[in-house]
Amino acid sequence: MACVVKVSGFRRVVCALFLAFLASGCNRQSPSVTPPPPVEVVAVTVQPQTVPVLFPFVAQIQSSHQVDVMARVSGFLEKISYREGEAVRQGQVLFQLDKKPFIAAANAAKAEVDTRRSQLWTAKATLDRVKPLAEQNAASKSDLDNATGNHKTAEAAVQQAQANYDKALLDLSYTTIAAPFSGVAGQALMREGGYIAAGSASAKLTYVAKLDPVWVDFSISQNEQAKMSQEVEKGRIVGPRNNRYTVELELSDGTRYPLSGVVNFAEPSFSKETGTYLVRAEIPNPKAILRPGMFVRAWLKGAMRPNALVVPQRAVQQTSNGQIVFVVNEKGLAEVRPVVAGEWFEQNWIIDQGLRSGDKVIVDGFMKLAPGAPVKLVTAEEMQKAVRPAQPKAAK
């Protein structure tokens, strides 16, 4: 721009100085902006590895052997001989019915046996006398036939009486009701003095359940089965040898049960009502921690996932658009990467989509990051030292 000013003397000098000042101001450069320092972060390099696959299920504990204790004979309940709800031993007496009617019936049956044996002796003596006489034609053939028939009838009567006596003794033994095996016995459903009718509802007295081992029942849906089959076909999951799956339990308070079990049964068909099929595992329970009816979380183990990409759980963030991680790109800048996380493995996520082998995933320090921010990789120990507050010096 040309500045034309018609001045002279002092004013000409001032104008020249003012134009020189404007020229120097136009040529002055703006101060440079200092880039922010890189953010210190801790990262892990993702590498394929083989990890176990855990399938979680809601499961319920069942006794491995539970039976109802039933009265086999009718009578009055005389005594309850166990502490309800507590452990019982095999053969331990649980209930005692009134024996007196059964003792009387057994005595009567025994007397009948003695009577029939006396009749058999008489019939045998008669046959022994008639038989030689008939051989000498001193007795008629009909006399021999009658003696032989009476002897056989007496023998049959003895057998019948002996059977009745054995039945009476058996009924007498049924008045003492014992535990069929060791376990825990439930509440007594009848009280002392009550009449028990065999074959009716009153005949059920309690139950005995075996607690070591116990069964763990859980169901697998049709969708879960289909997904698992697809994973196996694609080679993403490899089943255990001989299809031997194990089960670990998590109790309702979040603690892990110390012992594991083995799957020993799988229903061959789906339920028409639920669309699931039952799977059962057997697990030791020596301290009776697990009780029938208890709900637990079961982890089905044994399958392996080869070539899995695993990152710590804290590296994965949940946003409104899905899950993301921060990675360090080739330029040393933070980059947001959308991912799809699969199952948990201990304290890690298995990443199904979004990461490649060799990616550097930030696990600590990403809270201060923005996409495209420069980063500096440090170790976890260096990060801890940086955030640890300085200790005050001791006064001399």
What is the number of other CB atoms lying within 10 angstroms of the CB of residue 190?
18
pLDDT at 208: 95
In angstroms, the CA 228 to CA 240 distance is: 13
In angstroms, the CA 95 to CA 187 distance is: 12
pLDDT at 21: 47
Domains and CATH numbers, the chain: 41-50+306-387 (2.40.420.20), 55-63+208-305 (2.40.30.170), 99-174 (1.10.287.470)
pLDDT at 29: 52
Q: Which long-range contacts (CB under 8 A, 24 or more apart) does 146-153 make?
A: 147/123, 150/123, 150/126, 151/120, 151/123, 151/124, 151/126, 151/127, 153/123
Strand partners, 70: 204
Residues with Cβ within 8 Å of 178's Cβ and at least 6 positions away in sequence, in order, are: 91, 92, 93, 94
| pLDDT mean by block of 10 residues, the chain; 396 residues | 45 48 50 70 89 90 95 96 93 96 96 94 90 83 88 94 96 96 94 94 94 94 88 86 90 93 91 90 94 94 89 88 89 89 82 90 83 84 68 52
pLDDT at 386: 65
